[in-house]
Structure 1
Amino acid sequence: MEAAQFTCLFLLFLLTCHRAQEVAEEVENSSDGPGAAQEPVWLPDVPAAMEYITAAEVAVIGFFQDLEIPAVPIFRSMVQKHQDVSFGISNDSEVLSHYSITGNSISLFRLVDNEQLDLEDEVIESIDATKLSHFIEINSLYLVTEYNPATVIGLFNSKIQIHLLLMMNKASPEYGESLHRYKRAARLFQGKILFILVDSGMKENGKVISFFKLKKSQLPALAIYQTVDDQWDTLPIAEVSVEDVQNFCDGFLQGKLLRETRESEEKTPKVEL
């Protein structure tokens, strides 16, 4: 992955929801208007950096000892291109030390699995806009991440080895509310299961659907997959509910496979009375 070195950061900062909302509002209001050039948010000290990172599902932070190096304007140019990502920048020595940065680094922080992924000095020296954008694209995982050729790399490089897929057509009238409920359920399994959305309306996603032996007529459906041993299960659903998603995930974590139960019932011959 372009010589990137990944470092797991096992820090969970318990901040109040009120303060986290204030930080999010500061980010939202940092631009002067719709057409204004966007800039990374300046992080002057450790508390500001902690609050900013905690408030975002995905945050990319430029930790620079020297703000004059060529990587800095390249980093700044990413803000406009990746508008669903929060960007911050700092050259404060205490901030760098707090995040174990000894030189210059561009680091990506993910709420979903509490990861800190660092592009360090040797990579920073030769970084260009294409490489940096690729690094951000493949590693931006959210509470619900949409499946595509870029994110699949980040999904399988995550330390979380169980993935739940909602296979549903994004063009369906129920999509908006279904995604809202799916995201609510994702918070219940944060750090345990990665929640993924597969748009069944896209022809190229047909291979994912067929891998789980599902037909279009059975969608929407949930599929859960464990990357270590390829164990998997499926659940066709009429609608997405938090309770159904939770029960399906809990059952899989407990070793119960609905698929095996269904297959066993299908093989059992019916006895006529």
Structure 2
Amino acid sequence: MFRVRVMFLAVFCLLVVCVTADDKENGSVLRLKDVPAAEAFIDSVEVAVIGFFETEAARGYKEFMAAVKQMDKLPVALCSEKEVWAKYGIASDTISIFRKADLHQEHLKLSEAKKIDGDGLVRFMTINNILYVTEYNQATAAGLFQSVVKTHLLLVADRGRTHSDPLQQVFRDLAPKYAGKMLFVLVNGSEKSNARVLEYFGLKSRDLPRIGIYDGVLDKKWLMPAGEITTERVQDFCDSFLDGELQKQKEETPEDKTEL
């Protein structure tokens, strides 16, 4: 019986994602009718957006629908069922974002918003679209630093190099294991806009790829020793930070390094 239930949930989750994409293309959005449907929708993706609107005449509804059309890759649903509202602590019309990477829920209470427009809602959803592996850019940077998880594991790589994709897979395989503990961030070292990240870690383009940890609480950084980037080495590096061993080491600065 348990196996049948698990298989049903897996199929249902897949259908939820597919239906959501089709609905958005058709100008509508998936509607969640009960708690199991909401749970399946949230569980099926890394980031889920739900517009909790009592009616289509509610303040912000039209602006939300306009914003959704621009966020074609972001799973979005609507819900007016008060049973579901109670499940997630919703008391009034709200746009909520559910994230797995930092185990966080972000709620925008529309009654408290001074101004509501489509562009503003697009920005709200973009900033809060924090995935298991989030690519660093001007928009996502705001969400990363606003997260309650203040430790970032960075993969700084030249996206033009052929070995970048396997390295990303190492990242993606490990990220779920550290949900709520570390945010995994991909930094494209070939982008001029990311030059400050390389400078902060004392890196040059010739040094890439490298793995680093940034602690936003202590405002300190550490680089994983140069060498092959494997699942085992990255995991050991993460665990050494979480165990407090890495913090006992002197923070590495550009002046401390002789060769990377």
* Superposition TM-score, scaled by structure 1 size: 0.83
Q: How far apart, CA to CA, are the structure 1 residues paired with 2:177 and 2:120? A: 34
1:74 aligned to 2:63? yes
**Within 5 Å, which residues of 2 pair with 1:1-273?**
16=6, 19-30=9-20, 36-123=25-112, 126-235=115-224, 237-257=226-246, 260=250
Q: How far apart, CA to CA, are the structure 2 residues paired with 1:17 and 1:195? A: 30
Q: 1:166 corresponds to which letter in structure 2?
A: L
SS in structure 2 of the partner of residue 165 of structure 1: strand
In structure 2, the partner of 1:8 is none
Q: How far apart, CA to CA, are the structure 2 residues paired with 1:179 and 1:123? A: 40
Moved more, 185-194 or 77-86: 77-86
Mark the runs of 5 or more structure 1 residues left unpaired by the alignment.
1-14, 268-273
> 1:29 Cα shift?
4.2
Q: 2:12 corresponds to which letter in structure 1?
A: E
Identical aligned residues as a percent: 34
Q: How far apart, CA to CA, are the structure 2 residues paired with 1:69 and 1:209? A: 46
- Conserved in 1, the CA contact under 8 Å of 2:53 and 2:94? yes
* Superposition TM-score, scaled by structure 2 size: 0.86
1:123-178 CA-to-partner distances (Å, cap 9, x unmatched) read: 45741101101101111100001111111111111111211010001121122222
Residue-pair matches, total = 250
1:182-217 CA-to-partner distances (Å, cap 9, x unmatched) read: 110112211111100000010111110110112222
Going from structure 1 to structure 2, the CA distance change for 1:106 and 1:241 (only over 3 Å counts) comes to same
- Conserved in 2, the CA contact under 8 Å of 1:165 and 1:197? yes
Q: CA RMSD in A?
A: 2.6
- Conserved in 2, the CA contact under 8 Å of 1:31 and 1:38? no
- Conserved in 2, the CA contact under 8 Å of 1:220 and 1:236? no
